[in-house]
Amino acid sequence: MKNIKGSIALVTGGSRGIGPHIARFLAKEGVNIALTARTKKALDETIDSLAPFNIEAKAFPADLTDAVSRTTLLENIKNHFGPIDILINNAGMEWVCAYSDMSPEQIKTMIQTNMIAPMLLARMVIPQMVNQKKGHIVTMSSLGGKKGSPYSATYAGTKAGLIQWTSGIRQELKGSGVSASVICPGFVSESGMFAVYEKKAPKITGETTTEKVAQAVIRAIKKDIQEIIVNPGLIWPMVMLDAIDPGIMCWVLRKFGVYDFYRKQAEENQSREETL
């Protein structure tokens, strides 16, 4: 979709983190925004930030893990805007802890939020996109989907699933006018654990910004790029090394403190839970 001005985009997870930044970059391109998350008040704050861009934006609070809520969301958007042209699967959750400390419900909720909800949303909008011969689905994954880290195993599993799912549906949709992309940010400053705990990423991985992630979303849509890794430094050599020998890559990450970073965060989270 080289020309996205005037398109209708649904941005999930639009109330905090990367979501509001993606919405603003889409608005700069002249895209009308349907914004969803659970909390209306936070959504309205993002909507207010889009006022200078001379586009139409509206909040649609919804629980994406609930089937009825997903159906109602898409019906309400269609009634207000018309068919969706761009789906940004951005909503997600992360919790750093030992895998055995996660309850079955926590595991199910993370899988439902991070992987099943975006896959089912896409399943619901693809037929209309194919019918109009125009559309793009962008799904937010993570470098965690490229290499699972200790204390973040469930999160990594969901993000890895999104990468391969995107690859599959992209090939199914080839020639239909509809396409799919996946964005894999590394550690993002001012978002996620950085915002909550004021953390700095390990030096070997470095960190990127919410603006660069949002720019990658626009580039993926306009240039129809299958996958974009958003992270500075040595990431590409590390990805290639992992493909050659995952064991050596694990040693590198352990040696340079990445696994220790996650372990300390898990310990902090566990301590917080015990004091509640």
Task: Write the Ramachandran bin of 174: left for phi over 0, alpha for psi from -120 to 50, otherwise beta.
Answer: beta
Nearest alpha carbon to residue 85 among 28, 185, 2, 20: 2
Name the CA dihedral angle for 197, 46, 33, 157, rounded to a multiple of 10 degrees: 10
| Catalytic residue list | 155
Cβ 140 vs Cβ 90: under 8 Å: yes
179 backbone dihedrals φ, ψ, rounded to 5°: -145, 175
**Tokens describing residue 261:** 């970073």
Rounded Cα gap, residues 66 and 228, in angstroms: 29
**Tokens describing residue 259:** 């696994």
Rounded Cα gap, residues 65 and 155, in angstroms: 16
Nearest alpha carbon to residue 206 among 146, 258, 147, 269: 258
**Tokens describing residue 185:** 């940010």
Look up residue 97 and give its DSSP letter: S
Can you tell me which residue has the tokens 């391969």? 164
Cβ 1 vs Cβ 221: under 8 Å: yes
Rounded Cα gap, residues 81 and 217, in angstroms: 22
- 123 burial type by CB count under 10 A (0-12 exposed, 13-18 middle, 19+ buried): exposed
